[in-house]
Every structure is written in C-alpha cells, then in structure tokens.
Amino acid sequence: MSSARPLRLKTEEVARADKAIAEVLPVARLWVDNSLSHLDGTYDYLVPQHLDSAVRAGVRVGLNFAGREVEGLVLERLDVTSFAGLKMISSVLSPFVVAPPQLISLIKVACQRWLAHPYDIIRSAIPPRVASVDKKAPVIESVCTMKSGRGQGFSYIHIQPSENAIAKIAEFAKEKLKLGSVLLIVPEERELRRLSDLLGGDAIVLSASLSRTDRYCNYLTALSEKNKLVIGTRSAIFASPSDLRTLIVFREISESLYEPRTPGWNVRDLSLLRSTNEGLDLYFAGYSPSSEIGKLIDERKAKFVSKRNRLKVTNHPSANGELLPGRIFSSIRTALASGPVLFLVPRKGYASSLMCKKCRNIALCECGGKLSRTGVNEAANCVHCGVKANLHKCKWCGSASMVLLGRGAERHAEEIGRAFPGYPVLYSNSQKPIETQDGQPALVISTAGMVPRVANGYSAVILLEGDSFFSFADLRAQERARESFFEAASHVSPKGEIVTVIDSSHPITAALTQWSPVTMAARELSERREVALPPYTRAVLLETESKDATGIIAGIRKAVFDRRLPSSVSAFGPSQSSGDLSRILLTCDISQSDAFLSFLHEFIRHRAVTKKSKIFLRVDPYSLSS
C-alpha cells in the first residue's frame, strides 16, 4: 500500500516560485536610493523569474539594501556579474520606463560635473510616482533610444526693443516643431503661465506648481508622445521626449534656474552638456547673456543673433544723491502726455536701513542684523531674523532721531507721486506683481523683472539709481544689473525715450543706445580673465564645521604642493557662515577642472567612510559668497 505524500502549504510553493531567477539576463544593474554620499555607485541584483518581463532599463524597482526596503532605478540587464551572493529585486514599483537611455546618460554626466549621488539628480529629474496614474495609464512598450545626431551649435537670440519676448519664443518654438519635439525652459512661474496661455493645449507643461498627479501624468505623456512642445521651469530640463530635437532656454542668467538643493546644478550648464551628448539644437534667448554664455560668444563657440538698433537714450547723473535730477522732469512730463512712464528701482520695501541722526551709527537688531522699514508707518524689522523692533532711541547715544537710508520702491513711489501729482501711481514687485497696464498716462514703479506689460510700450523708461544696481557686492552684480536694464528698456515704445540716472562715464548708457550688451560683457570678461575668476575657473564652495575648516584648507594646499592637485588650485578662507559653520572657496583653472573635481569627489567619499563631519558642497554656485 502506497503512503500518502505530505501536504505542502500554498505559501511555501509561492515562496519557492519567487526564488526562481530569470533565465535570460538574470542580473540587473541599478542605482540605489541609499541616502549615503559615498555609496553612489551601481549595484547588481538578481531578477526574479516572475518579474522578468517588468524589470527593464529605466524602471523603478523596490529592493532590500542594508536591511531597508528602498527604491532603485534599473540601468541595464546583464548576463553575468563579478559579484557573489546577490540579493533579489523585491518588486517593480511602476511598470513605466521613467528614465530612457538619454536621461540615464545625462544623470551620469551631471553626477560627474556636480559631484552628486545619482538620486540627488533623480529627485529633480523624475517626478514621484502616483499609483492611481500607474493603474490607469497604458504601459508604453517602446523605449526611445540615444540619438547620434549632431546639433547645429549654440545660438543666443537677443530680445529686441518693443518686442514681446514670451510671444517671440513661443512662435520660435512652434517653428522648430517641424524638426521634432521641442523643450522650452523659462525661469519663473509667471512666465510659464503667460507662455501656457499663448500656446493653449498645444504644449505639455512641467512645473512644481502642478499637482503631483498632473505633473506625473504630463511627464509620462512627454516621454511617450512625439512631435510635442514641452514647456516648464527648472526641473523640466530633464524631460526626454522620444524625438527631442530642439532645446530652448529663456533668460539662462536667472538665479531661478539654479537648483537650490544639493548638488546645485543649473539649467544653462545642463543644457550645454545635453546638447553635446544628444546632438540637439540649442538656443538661449534673453536680454543679456551671463558671463558663461558671454565667454562662448567671445570665443565664437556660440552665435549672438541680434538686429541693429539705435535707441533714444539720455543720461542724467545724480549730482547730490537726489532721486530725480532736475533736468529729468521735462522728459517725464512730456512722456506722461502720451502714455505711462516706467521707473525701474533697485530695492523693494521702504528703507533698506536706519541710521542715528546724531552719532551716525547704523541701527542693529539684537542678532546683529540691520534694521529696515517696509512702509512709512511700519515698525522697523530685522533683515536677518525678521523680528520687529520698536525703535525709539539709538542704543549707542540715546538719540530718538533716525535717518532713513537706501530708498526702497515704496519710498520711490511716494516721492515720485508727490513730484507728479494728478497721475495714478502703480507699484509692481514680486509679492504683488501687476501683469498689465492699460496704456493710459500713469507712474509705474517696478523692481527688476516685475515690469507690467503695455500693449504699445511705455512713453519713457527711467532707470533710477543706476549706480546702486551695479554696486551690489557679489560676482553676478554686473551681469544681473545689465539684464535688468535691458529687460526694462525693452518695454519702451518705438518712439519712446530711455533715461539712465547713473554716472555719465558708465558704459551701460552706450550699450543701451546701440542695443548691444556684448561689448560691455566682453570688457567684464577680460577683467575676470586677468584675475582668474569664473567663468575662466571652476569654483567650488565648501561649508563645514568651523573646527575642521583650517585643517581642510591646509590639506588642499599640501595636495597642491605634492602635485596631487593641479597647480592652478587656490583655497580661500575660511570665512564665517551660519552658526558654527565656516565657508571655504576653492578655484581651479577650467582646463584642469576634471582632475580637480575627481580629487574632491574622492575626498568627500573618504570623509564619509571615515565618519568625519559632513561637508556641504556646491560646484559653480550662482554666488561665490553664499
């Protein structure tokens, strides 16, 4: 009599089936979201048989890493591996290929350029998954492949006077759709809204302002559909339409196109890398190029596309610090007879600081920050900590009399309104922007980048306190001021007048007259080259605990002496940052930057492995002082 076989639980059968490995290409190589800067390489995992068809390059998977269930991104499937004892992939988080080959390639290049962990880039590049979208959307079987084409180089399209910049780049983008999909990046949400309104349903929008569901849906649509116009803000630079042919970046000079989170990449440099890698046609458009693009124009690596113009520009320097020089009044009155007059001002608020009238000391908060005033009847508040201060007496001499320093836009509006009574006064800033003005005579006061649009332009554009625009204490001050002046001046009507209130010898007046920022930019580049400043050097800003700063600088200098670092490497600092942190600035000649960055990457990894204090790092930050 035969004996009955022992019963086996169903769960045991499932468990045994789950351990079966894929027969073809059983190994998946992937990046792992492990949150550890020194573990930024690739890892090999086995592919279970039951997930074989779903585990594809570019798909997000779940896996066990150091006892934690984390996310991974599949890079490729392999037949063999040099590692033993591999773990299995736990699950497929989404069936969609969210990282096509060209995006994986771009992330690799970005990691090398900004010394980043892959997932620091992925978090910006790929929107978080939404389960409801994954369930409803059809799985895309085809995956776009790397392009081998060759772009036509780089061009900078200079916005012309009285030209609607957003309308121009929208039309230009639509023309380029004949060649394939187009990716258009703008720095600000308000510009994206205007662009979206112009294009209507013809464009796919990618922006952090969208709901999580809409952003993920739009991202998947951009990946799957062809001959599409994709528009977006900073992170949209990673969008990868299957037939992408043209990349357009508007106002690449803007700080908004710099990622504030680690590792601090920027759209301009990413677009240059992407154009080279993928063979894309790359166009920058704006009012004035950054120093980096100016260098490419100067070296004839980028073409500057502009038209000859000669504008009516007059200069009225301020002799004794007055807001409106005497000779400017007649120009403003004449302009008001036919339309609105724009006044560009350097600062928002009411007064940037307060000073004791008696002892001339600047009023300070308990934290050491300067006290400012946001309105005529507002209490003074600290520019650092924001605490309001009921300032009745100077803490140095006891005097109750305070002097307002540094006019803000609200004070400008107050004084200009008194000088020209009977006209409405409009004030546009980033907190309360005015999108349009009806073209009727009015006094329009605006901070940089917030100018209301007028259908036929302003009768006059007055650029106030020009010296203040150019005197901010950071490396970008000159190019930022130049862009602000050209952007504001572009709103003048064809027969209108531009007035600069700045020292008569300043080159900005001549640059506006000829509508050419390039000559002025070339002069600044020449000065930067002489003193080895960016863009002729690669700059790295380190922030570390103050107790370690001196030792790090000594180590960097010793590495230069021992020839482990290029001879052009210089270390500056340390300077006090926030709390108990200190800041160190490292620079290196651009031609030796690869070896410089490679050394720093290994240095950061070694500190992490030996569990030393963390270093916060920025490669080529927007500002070298923050």
- Read off the pLDDT of residues 85-110 as tens digits, 9 standing for 90 and up: 899 999 999 999 999 999 999 999 99
When pLDDT is cut at 50, 70 and 90, the band that residue 186 belongs to is very high
The pLDDT score that the predictor gives to residue 193 is 95
When pLDDT is cut at 50, 70 and 90, the band that residue 203 belongs to is very high
Lowest-pLDDT range of 77-86, 162-171, 435-444 = 77-86
Asked whether residue 29 carries a pLDDT value surpassing 70, the answer given is yes
Cβ atoms of 332 and 341 closer than 8 Å: yes
Mean pLDDT of 145-153: 57
The pLDDT score that the predictor gives to residue 532 is 93
Asked whether residue 6 carries a pLDDT value surpassing 60, the answer given is no
The pLDDT score that the predictor gives to residue 13 is 47
The pLDDT score that the predictor gives to residue 143 is 52
Angle (nearest 5°) at CA 317 between 315 and 318:
145
Q: Which two tokens stand for residue 290?
A: 């950054």
The pLDDT score that the predictor gives to residue 301 is 94
Who has greater pLDDT, 22 or 189?
189
Q: Is 364 exposed, middle or buried (0-12, 13-18, 19+ CB in 10 A)?
A: middle
361: how many CB neighbours lie within 10 A of its CB?
A: 14
CA dihedral 611, 612, 618, 624 (to 10 degrees): 170
The pLDDT score that the predictor gives to residue 151 is 60
When pLDDT is cut at 50, 70 and 90, the band that residue 5 belongs to is low
- Read off the pLDDT of residues 546-601 as tens digits, 9 standing for 90 and up: 999 999 999 999 999 999 999 999 999 898 887 789 999 999 999 999 999 999 99
The pLDDT score that the predictor gives to residue 361 is 77
Residue 396: what residue type? W
Mean pLDDT of 360-378: 69
Provide CB contacts within 8 A for 286, sequence distance 6+: 156, 157, 158, 159, 250, 251, 252, 253, 483
Q: Which residues of 194-229 are buried (b: 16+ CB within 10 A; e: fewer)?
A: bbbebbeeebbbbbeebeeebbbbbbbebbbeeebb
The pLDDT score that the predictor gives to residue 182 is 97
Mean pLDDT of 598-614: 90
> What size, in residues, is the chain?
626
When pLDDT is cut at 50, 70 and 90, the band that residue 72 belongs to is very high
3-state secondary structure of 285: strand
Q: Rounded distance, CA 562 to CA 588, Å?
A: 16
The pLDDT score that the predictor gives to residue 18 is 64
Who has greater pLDDT, 382 or 151?
382
Provide CB contacts within 8 A for 18, sequence distance 6+: 48, 50, 88
Lowest-pLDDT range of 173-182, 340-349, 500-509 = 340-349
All domains of the chain in start order, with CATH? 18-136 (3.40.1440.60), 154-305 (3.40.50.300), 313-349+408-529 (3.40.50.300), 362-404 (no CATH), 537-619 (3.30.70.360)
3-state secondary structure of 109: helix
Mean pLDDT of 520-538: 94
Lowest-pLDDT range of 54-58, 384-388, 614-618 = 384-388
Asked whether residue 234 carries a pLDDT value surpassing 90, the answer given is yes
> Left (φ > 0), alpha (ψ -120 to 50) or beta: where does 418 sit?
alpha
The pLDDT score that the predictor gives to residue 116 is 94
Average pLDDT, the chain: 89
Q: Which two tokens stand for residue 523?
A: 């002069």
The pLDDT score that the predictor gives to residue 2 is 45
Share of the chain above pLDDT 70, in %: 88
Q: Rounded distance, CA 355 to CA 364, Å?
A: 9
Mean pLDDT of 364-386: 67
Asked whether residue 117 carries a pLDDT value surpassing 80, the answer given is yes
Q: Rounded distance, CA 149 to CA 179, Å?
A: 12
Cβ atoms of 461 and 312 closer than 8 Å: no
Asked whether residue 302 carries a pLDDT value surpassing 50, the answer given is yes
Cβ atoms of 524 and 511 closer than 8 Å: no
The pLDDT score that the predictor gives to residue 1 is 42
- Read off the pLDDT of residues 135-144 as tens digits, 9 standing for 90 and up: 876 666 555 5
The pLDDT score that the predictor gives to residue 50 is 93
Mean pLDDT of 31-38: 91
Q: Is 353 exposed, middle or buried (0-12, 13-18, 19+ CB in 10 A)?
A: middle
Asked whether residue 486 carries a pLDDT value surpassing 50, the answer given is yes
Asked whether residue 146 carries a pLDDT value surpassing 60, the answer given is no
